[in-house]
Chain A
Amino acid sequence: MRAFLAIVGKELYALFTLPIAYAVLTGTIFVAGWLFFDNLAYYNRIIMVQTAQAMASQDVLAYVPSDISLYTLVVRPTVGQLTLFLMVFVPLITMRVFAEERQRGTYELLLTTPVSVAKIVGGKYVACSLFLVLMLAATIIFPAVAVTQIQSEIGWAHMFAIYLGLTAFALALAALGLLCSSLTENQIIAALLSYVLSVALYDLSWMQGVLGNTVAPLAKEIALQTHFTSFAEGIIDTHDLTYFASLGFVAFVLTAMSVEQTRFR
Chain B
Amino acid sequence: MAPLIGLIGAVAFLFGLGAYYFTFKPGLFFYANIVGGGGSLLAWGMHSLVSVSRPSGEAGGGWYLRKLGGVVLVVAAVLGLNWTTARYRWRFDTTLRQLYSLSPLTEQVLDGLREPVEALVFERTERDRRVEQLIASYASRSPKFTYRFLDMQREREALGRFGVEEAGLVLRAGSAAERILEVNEHNLTNALIRLTFTQRPLLCLTTGHGEAPLKGKSERAYSGLARALRDQGCNLELIVLNGHTTVQDECGALLILGPQRAFSEDELRDLAAYLDGGGRVLLLVEPAVASGLEPLLERIGIRLGDGMILDPQSSARFEASSGVRPLINYFRKHPITEKFNERTFVQFETVRPVLPAVPAPEGWDVTALAYSSSDSRVIRAAGAADRRDEKPSRTEWVPVAVAASQRSGPAENAASGARVLVIGDADFIANRNLASLYNLDFILNAIHWIAGREPLVSIGPKFVKPYQEILTPEETLSFFYSFAMVLPEAILITGVILWWRRRGR
Contacts and interface: CB of A to CB of B under 8 A. Distances in A.
Interface of A: 16-17, 19, 21-23, 25-27, 29-30, 32-34, 36-37, 40-41, 43-44, 47-48, 50-51, 60-61, 64, 66, 68-72, 76, 138, 141-142, 145, 150-155, 157-158, 160-161, 183-184, 189, 192-193, 195-196, 199-200, 203, 205-206, 209-210, 221, 229-230, 232-239, 242-243, 246, 249-250, 253-254, 257, 260-261, 264-265
Chain B facing A: main interface SS: helix
Nearest to B218: A60
Given A26-B495, A64-B468, A206-B26, A234 B56 contact: no
Contacts of A151: 467
B81 A246 contact: yes
Contact of A234 (B41, B95, B464): B95
A36 B89 contact: no
Contacts of A239: 82, 85-86, 89
A155 B95 CA distance: 7
B41 A196 contact: yes
Nearest to A192: B10
A183 B6 CA distance: 12
A157 B93 CA distance: 9
Nearest to A60: B217
B82 A29 contact: no
Contacts of B498: 16-17, 22
A158 B95 contact: yes
A113 B16 CA distance: 43
B471 A40 contact: yes
Given A51-B470, A242-B85, A209 B30 contact: yes
A contact patch SS: helix
Interface residues of B, number: 79
Given A242-B85, A249-B74, A257-B67, A40 B217 contact: no
Contacts of A17: 498-499, 502
A247 to B, nearest CB: 8
5 contacts: A44-B471, A70-B468, A153-B96, A158-B94, A257-B67
A264 B94 contact: no
Given A153-B95, A237-B92, 6 more contacts: A26-B495, A51-B468, A153-B467, A237-B89, A261-B52, A261-B63
B467 A196 contact: no
B316 interface: no
A33 B94 contact: no
A209 B20 contact: yes
B116 interface: no
Contacts of B20: 205-206, 209
A232 B128 CA distance: 12
B488 A29 contact: yes
Contacts of B467: 69-71, 150-153
Contact of A141 (B59, B487, B496): B487
Contacts of A19: 495, 499
Given A44-B476, A51-B470, A237 B10 contact: no
Contacts of B484: 29-30, 33-34, 36-37
A62 to B, nearest CB: 11
